[in-house]
Amino acid sequence: MQLLLQELQRSSLSVVFLLLSLLFLSLFFTNKFSKPAFKLKLPPSPPKLPIIGNLHQLGKLPHVSLRALSEKYGPLLFLKLGFKQTLIISSSDMVKEMIKSQDIIFSNRPTSTAADIFFYGGKDSAFAPYSEYWRQTRKICVLQLLSMKKVLSFEYVRKEETEELVRNIRNSSLGGEAVNLTEMVVETLNNIIFRCILGMKFREDEMKKKFGGLARRMSTQFVAFSYGNYFPFLRWVDVVTGLMGSLKESFNEFDSFLERVIEEHKKAAESNDQDHEQADKDFVDILLRLQKDGMLDVELTQENIKAILVDMFVAGSDASSTIVEWAMAEVLNCPTAMKKVQEEVRRVVGNNNHKSRIEVNDIDQMDYFNCVIKETLRLHPPAVLIPRATSKNSVKLGGYDIPPNTNVHINAWAIQRDPKLWDRPEEFIPERFENNPVDFRGQEFHLIPFGGGRRGCPGSTFGLFGIEYMLSNLLYWFDWKLPENGANVEDMDMTEAFAIAVHKKIPLTVVPIPYSP
């Protein structure tokens, strides 16, 4: 998201915008926008500007700007973003109250231009409105696509792709040159996701060129500034600025590809007489079988299937690669943590395996390694601002009135860096989780990297299996150092780039040194 004022400066339409805005000021005095007869006790709000409200207070990193505002005005913050009323929650206590007592009322999702385009008008699971359709699609995801049984069935895919990543890094390291680890991790996770979801490899040059950065690009486009999101009567400006065109270009690329993949799966299924267990090799197979059986309470159309697949692709690839990227960056920045975690990984693998190959069961015995994962998720949650929206009913939260149809953003990034909850919250200290049973699956409200309640991420287990296996292999097979600039080692640039999953602005470039067990 970018500042509205910055956007206006870049656009030749600023004068038009201001004139139109003045014209529509009368809307504020109509019944639609007038205040109710009774006075609501709203949460605190910073001073607003006419028309744009608080939009000018959102910086290039909104989670950072919103934390600063919450520190000044309180953990519940009521903003007017254009014509959108928005609640910002930056307190674990308020999140707990919301999920424990009012979760149903807060279980909608905000609408947006990008979500409407990318997810076929809300036909997916992640951004579908709270409804019977959402309940059915989430049930499909939890029981059919992302169950523990299905996650474990893809173990061979994770192993094959990670072993190839290790080979590629080893080959690249022969000359002592630096490698773009971000790019290599993204490509490997794309391979894993494509094989699990679509049943095909991602290695063909044409596919790499077309879809190599698509998940990360869509994640960035998703949060790009849209006039229509905040000023519905200015939706047409998104066409003129080119935003609508770029969103549809990304959508059309992936949509046409999914159409082709689904048709190929349908043809293969027609000539396949195997039972369901044998035939369900990937997510497309499962969804087509459910569509054919007609056992669901809602219709599963071709668009529904494609929307669910886009969910899996964007979340599975971009969020997972971002976590691996940040974990490697943090341990590189903390030599004591790097030394400690590598010693543990190599000790556990050496004790358990004669062939020096990491097995899934090994990871369960790596206590400090799991602390590194938790600390990475604390500092760099895959979703820094968790989106919710209230239903048509008003609700009380923290003693305040929350109006109907209010957009809600839980600032997980701020909560997980709250000095009232965490000692030295800005520092990477995996030791804080030693002998600490805190979990990150939505039951502990001061650590919510995957959300919680009804809208908690159903794919966290699927993603974590891939993250843990890949990261443990990177730490086992290589020592790592930063590239040298003359005689001095460059400091790591930890600047963030805002997207659905906030990633490093500068890709992680490092020098691998092969390790011989």
Tokens of 142: 């939890």
**Secondary structure class of 70 (helix, strand, coil):** helix
Q: What's the whole-number mean pLDDT along residues 126-143? A: 91
What pLDDT does 34 receive? 41
Dihedral sign for Cα atoms in the order 512, 514, 515, 517: positive
Cα angle 388, 4, 9 (rounded to 5 degrees) comes to 160
pLDDT at 207 over 70: no
Looking at the predicted structure, is the pLDDT value of residue 297 above 50? yes
Confidence of residue 393 (pLDDT cuts 50, 70, 90): confident
Q: What's the one-letter identity of residue 77?
A: L
Distances from the Cα of 481 to the Cαs of 57, 86, 171, in angstroms? 39, 44, 17
254, 32 contact by CB (below 8 A): no
Predicted pLDDT of residue 442:
66
DSSP conformational letter for 455: G
Under the banding of pLDDT at 50, 70 and 90, the label for residue 314 is confident
Query: At 135, is the pLDDT very low, low, confident or very high (cuts 50, 70, 90)?
Result: very high
Q: What's the DSSP call for residue 129?
A: P
Lowest-pLDDT range of 15-24, 271-280, 315-324, 507-516: 15-24
Range of the domain at 244: 4-514
Tell me the β-bridge partners of 84. Answer: 81
509: left (phi over 0), alpha (psi -120 to 50) or beta: beta
Which CATH number do you get for residue 123? 1.10.630.10
C-alpha to C-alpha distances, 327 to 185, 231, 281, 433, 470, nearest whole angstrom? 12, 39, 31, 15, 11
State the pLDDT at residue 4: 42
Tell me what percent of the residues of the chain surpass a pLDDT of 90.
62
Is residue 13 pLDDT above 90, yes or no? no
SS3 17: helix
Contact between 44 and 74 under an 8 Å Cβ cutoff? The reply is yes
Report CA 515 to chain centroid distance, whole Å.
33
17-26, 187-196, 328-337, 444-453 — which is least confidently predicted?
A: 17-26
Question: Where does residue 53 fall: left (phi above 0), alpha (psi -120 to 50 degrees), or beta otherwise?
Answer: left
Please tell me the predicted confidence (pLDDT) of residue 316: 79
327 vs 254: which has the higher pLDDT: 327
Q: Read out DSSP for 190-237?
A: HHHHIIIIISS-S-SHHHHHHHTTHHHHHHHHHTS--HHHH-GGGTTH
- Decide which of 22 and 306 is more confident: 306
| pLDDT score, position 370 | 96
Model confidence pLDDT, tens digit, residues 458-476: 889 999 999 999 999 999 9
Alpha-carbon gap, residue 415 to 107, rounded angstroms? 20
Separation of alpha carbons 319 and 220, rounded Å: 12
Question: Distance between CA atoms of 177 and 513, rounded to whole angstroms?
Answer: 10
Segment 105-125, tens digit of pLDDT: 999 999 999 999 999 998 999
Query: Which has the higher per-residue pLDDT, 4 or 341?
Result: 341
> Is the confidence at residue 204, as pLDDT, over 80?
no
Predicted confidence at residue 485, as pLDDT, reads 58
What distances in angstroms separate CA 201 from CA 68, 160, 196, 262, 492, one per listed residue?
44, 11, 9, 15, 33
Q: Is the pLDDT of residue 21 over 70?
A: no
219 contacts 314 by C-beta, under 8 angstroms? yes
pLDDT band of residue 205 (cuts 50, 70, 90) is: low
Cα atoms in the Cβ-side hemisphere of radius 13 Å centred on 210: 14
Looking at residue 170, the DSSP 8-state letter turns out to be H
| Sign, CA torsion 194/188/502/148 | positive
Q: Which residues contact 138 (CB under 8 A, 6 or more apart)?
A: 125, 458
CB 68 within 8 A of CB 57: no
Helices (H), ranges, 198-334: 205-211, 214-222, 227-230, 237-241, 243-270, 276-279, 283-293, 302-314, 320-333
* Whether the predicted pLDDT of 176 surpasses 70: yes
Burial of 160 (0-12, 13-18, 19+ CB in 10 A): middle
Q: CB-based contacts of 171: which residues, under 8 Å, 6+ apart?
A: none
Give the C-alpha separation, 194 to 178, whole Å. 27
Which of 220, 221, 332, 207 is closest to 258 using CA atoms? Answer: 207
128 DSSP assignment: S
- The helix or strand, by DSSP H or E, that contains position 16, with its residue range, turns out to be helix 14-23
Which one is predicted more confidently, 305 or 351?
305
pLDDT given at position 19: 39
pTM of the full predicted structure? 0.89
442 vs 95, 145, 198, 323, 364, CA distance in Å? 10, 20, 29, 18, 20
Specify the number of domains making up the chain. Answer: 1
Is the pLDDT at 300 greater than 70, yes or no?
A: yes
The C-alpha atoms of residue 460 and residue 439 are separated, in whole angstroms, by 12
In sequence order, what are the residues at sequence separation of 6 or more whose Cβ sits closer than 8 angstroms to the Cβ of residue 9? Answer: none
Q: What is the pLDDT of residues 420-458, one digit of tens each?
A: 999 999 999 999 999 888 887 767 899 999 999 999 998
Q: Is the pLDDT of residue 100 over 90?
A: yes
At 209, the pLDDT band (50, 70, 90 cuts) reads low
> Annotated binding residue at 457?
yes
Q: Per-residue pLDDT averaged across 306-316, rounded? A: 88
Among 88-102, 289-303, 329-343, the minimum mean pLDDT is found in 289-303
Q: Where is average pLDDT lowest: 152-166, 284-298, 414-428?
A: 284-298
